[in-house]
Amino acid sequence: MKIVKRLLTLVAVLGLIYFLYLFFGKINKVTVDFDQNFTLKMFDQAKVKDQITFKLIRSIDNRCLDKSCEREGQIVYKVLALTDKRIEYLTISSVEKPNVEIKKTDYVLELVEAKSPKEATFKLKIKEEEKK
């Protein structure tokens, strides 16, 4: 029984190390300005003006690959947004929701181009004030 517990502990530790390697390991880091396009591949990270960091962590490909579909379909991306005070998971898609407001900030993340399920181009914009 002790051997099984040790093996399970070893598997859990190795899994955690692998996750940390994927999350923080060999990643491409870019620094950009507001209203500037940046391309992220899976697990890449972009820092915008030392204000907010984005990391592409997951994608779901719902596109129709054959001709029998009624609709076009879309790619849905899960992006991790890190600010000084918050961590937020954003869901942004190529058709239904190409712009996402980041809570408790004045920023909007825009999906400029969905190149593939593992690569996308984004732009961070400052929210426009509603005119009264």
Reported as a single tens digit per residue, the pLDDT across 11-64 is: 999 988 877 776 666 567 777 888 889 888 888 888 888 788 898 898 888 877
What domains can you pick out in the chain, each with its CATH number? Answer: 28-126 (2.60.98.10)
Q: What is residue 24's predicted lDDT score, i.e. its pLDDT? A: 62
77 sits in the region (left: phi over 0; alpha: psi -120 to 50; else beta) called beta
Q: Would the pLDDT of 69 be above 90?
A: no
State both tokens at 21: 């390697």
pTM over 0.85: no
pLDDT in tens, 84-97: 888 899 999 888 88
Rounded distance between C-alpha atoms, residue 29 and residue 122, angstroms: 14
Pick the more confident residue, 116 or 128: 116
Q: How many helices (H) and strands (E) does the chain have?
A: 1, 9
Average pLDDT over residues 101-120: 87
